[in-house]
Amino acid sequence: MVLAVVAGLLIIFFQSLNWLTNHGKETKVPKLTGKPMRDAVKQLKSMGFTVVIDSAYQADRKPLEVIYQEPESGAVVKMGRNIFLTVNRKTVPTVPMPNLVNLSFRNALLTMQSYRLVMGDTSYRPDIAAGSVLEQLYKGRVIRPGESIPYGSRIDLVIGEGLADIQDVPNLIGMSWFEARQSIEGLSLSYNVLWEGAITDTNAAIVYKQEPEALNELDFKNSIPAGDMIDVYVMQNPSQELLDRNQPGSGKLISEDDSVGFEPGTESLPSRKKDSIKKRNPVPGTAAPSVQSGKTAGTKPPAGSVTAGKKDPSATSKKPDPVKTPDAGKKPEPPKKSAPPKPQTTDIGNEFE
């Protein structure tokens, strides 16, 4: 009896396999990609399939549109099989923006692909970091790392192309920050702005100092490679004295004492310097202290001259201080082929006593 029961159960099982497995009942899977999810599910259920739905996101697809299907369209499957559909999400997911700055272009591209971001436009700017990402832009503005942006967003990159031509350093002292920034960017230079004190209006704040300066100490123009950086110091309302003190060139090297009575743009010297020059150079027509009647003190008249032995009529009654000379008190040599002159020892001595 046991054997009969077991044999009966086996016969029933094998005969019901066709019914359990839908043997001989096969059909082709229709094409579902590109269709709305509702239409695809309705079609599959009418054909006796079971539908399993997953979601993903593609920026170029409509919300709830079928992106993938498994098995693919045209595959022959049995009735009642599970069909897997992947549909586009209705709400756009967000992803934190990665930091692409200072990465090479290739590494930046791979990072964007891992975050499901799309490469947008690329532009180049002179910079010492050739081939590196200088800025990352989203919809025309700089986007910081960590900001949430939608999947599939287009990210524009600014790439360094190395240093280009040499530029003259612009003079930014006294400009508003808005004007200074336009001037720097117009010369393909970069900037590092340093704010001083309380700032109430950024664009109207005044540049009171810069490094490097437009002129050196000899008033020659300073040069800078295109793409290099300028340090800009900005204050809301700097004093005129501060602006004058930081003007480029040699003007800042003149001390306050030297600048008294000196007007910029004129060739007149300061009054203090004029006085010193007058002391060293007396007025023409006046005798120097060491000169009397065209004669230099301490010199001996030549022997045999007409004035030898005679007193200078321009000499004053007061005798000058005696001057010691190596020839004082000696007889002059008599001239050749002539009578010896009278001894001049006494007169010459009186002359210099």
- Residue 100 included in any domain: yes
The pLDDT of residue 206 is: 93
In a domain, 218, yes or no: yes
The one-letter code for the residue type at 122 is T
- Same domain, yes or no: 102 and 43: no
Question: So what's the pLDDT on residue 207?
Answer: 93
Residue 116 lies in a domain: yes
Please, which residues bridge with residue 224 across strands?
167
Domain assignment present for residue 276? The answer is no
The residue out of 111, 139, 160 marking a domain boundary is 160
Instruction: Check residue 37 and give its pLDDT.
Output: 92
C-beta neighbour count of 149 within 10 angstroms: 18
- Asked if the structure places residue 313 within a domain, the reply is no
Give the model's pLDDT for residue 93: 86
**Contact partners, residue 311, CB within 8 Å, separation at least 6:** 350, 351
Residue 55 within any structural domain of the chain: yes
> How far is it, in rounded angstroms, from Cα 115 to Cα 8?
62
- Kindly give, in sequence order, each residue whose CB lies less than 8 Å from that of residue 153, ignoring residues fewer than 6 positions away: 59, 117, 118, 138
Q: What is the pLDDT of residue 315?
A: 43
Q: What is the DSSP string of 201-263?
A: -TTT-EEEEEES-SB-TTSPBPEEETT-EEEEEEESS--HHHHHHT-SSGGGGS-TTTTTT--
Kindly state whether residues 178 and 153 are assigned to the same domain. no
71 upstream amide cis, omega within 30 of 0:
yes
pLDDT at position 292: 40
Q: What is the pLDDT of residue 336?
A: 53
Q: Which two tokens stand for residue 332?
A: 């002059």
**What tokens were used for 169?**
């350093």
Same domain flag for 189 and 247: yes
Residues 181 and 215 in one domain: yes
Strands 229-235 and 190-196: parallel
Residues 102 and 128 in one domain: yes
| 179 and 156 fall within a common domain | no
Give bridge partners of residue 276 from the DSSP assignment: none
Q: Is residue 309 part of a domain?
A: no
The total of structural domains in the chain comes to 3
Q: Which of 160, 184, 209 finishes a domain? A: 160
End-of-domain residue from the set 193, 226, 252? 252
d(CA 231, CA 234): 10
pLDDT at 253: 66
The verdict on 62 and 37 lying in the same domain is yes
Give the CA distances from residue 336 to residues 22, 304, 342, 345, in Å, rounded to whole numbers and listed in that order.
162, 11, 15, 19
251, 218 contact by CB (below 8 A): no
pLDDT tens series, the chain, 353 aa? 999 888 888 887 777 666 665 555 678 888 999 999 999 999 988 888 889 999 888 878 889 999 999 888 888 887 778 899 999 988 888 899 999 999 999 999 999 999 989 899 999 887 778 889 999 999 989 999 999 998 888 999 999 877 667 778 899 999 999 999 999 888 878 889 999 989 999 999 999 999 989 888 888 888 887 777 899 999 999 999 899 888 888 776 664 445 444 444 444 444 444 444 344 444 444 444 443 443 444 444 444 444 444 444 444 444 445 545 445 455 555 555 555 555 544 444 444 44
**What domain range includes position 51?**
22-88
Q: Considering the domain boundaries, does residue 152 fall inside one?
A: yes
Burial 289-310 (b: 16+ CB within 10 A, else e): eeeeeeeeeeeebeeeeeebbe
- My answer on whether 83 and 98 are in the same domain is no
- What pTM was computed for the model? 0.39
Pair (222, 188) in one structural domain: yes
Same domain, 174 and 244: yes
- Coil vs helix vs strand at 117: coil
CATH number at residue 124: 3.30.10.20
